[in-house]
Amino acid sequence: MSAQVEEIRLNLGHIELAAHLFGPEDGEPVIALHGWLDNANSFARLAPLLRGLRIVALDLAGHGYSEHRPAGASYALADYAHDVVRVAEQLGWQRFGLLGHSLGAIISVQLAGALPTRVSRLLLIDGVLPPTGTEQDAAQRLGMALQAQLRLDSKRKSIYPSLEQGIEARMKGMVAVSREAAELLAQRGLIPVPGGYSWRSDSRLTLPSPARLSEAQAMAFVQHIECPTCLVVAADGMLARHTALLEQLPFEQVRLPGGHHLHLNDEQGATLVADCINRFCGFS
């Protein structure tokens, strides 16, 4: 990771978040949002390669060194968007860009659609819209979510006897990553516990959503975005197979080789994504 990175904490009143700060003080303000169960180190390779940007890479609530939400609270997309706006208010940023990967890209799209005058540009990596649902599934989905919440009370987090085993578990997670990527995420994600190591992330992050937007509702956020937007599609990632969706998006799109974490898995992928973003921002 670049020696120029600075660790900061942001007290938003309702929660305290940790973040990494990159780039020149007079750079274009950008808030970077990582993916589900990742943390600010998701941008450890990419951010130092970006030019002209003042980047605040957050540990989202419940992730990394950030606080978990209070008992009884949940991790809805709207709550993440509220956190980001609070961060911008604390930094004095009336307008700011958003750099988002996966879940972070979804949050970015929703915030840019909801408050289009606040967001100056969108830089999205292999993520756009949340999973959608139908009206007919609403009752069943809520029931499933409630049952999962009750079951969570009796579950315990996995404990790995060694740091190495914790890293290997992340490499083989729902979305596989390279060893170097897992090691970077583990720096902010693994914590010593009796018997070994466990991941810091809030167990409630694994709960199913109690409600989903319809396709029309999800696309409404895209339609309300006013700022320039660049979407990086990983050739072996999650978006590449959704060609019908990609054809509907009014965004500049660039397809790059690599998997879902192409910006983190290796230096080559980080460089390709950085070159794309630097060109889009006019800093190439």
| DSSP H/E element including 244 | helix 243-248
Catalytic-residue membership of 108: no
Give the strand order in the sheet containing 6-11: 6-11, 16-22, 53-58, 28-33, 96-101, 119-125, 229-236, 252-259
Helix axes 179-189, 163-171, angle to 10 degrees: 120
Residue 39 DSSP SS3: coil
Which of 2, 42, 66, 102 does the annotation list as catalytic?
A: 102
Rounded Cα distance, 265 and 125, in Å: 13
Contact 188, 37 (CB under 8 A): no
Rounded Cα distance, 167 and 177, in Å: 10
Active site residues: 102
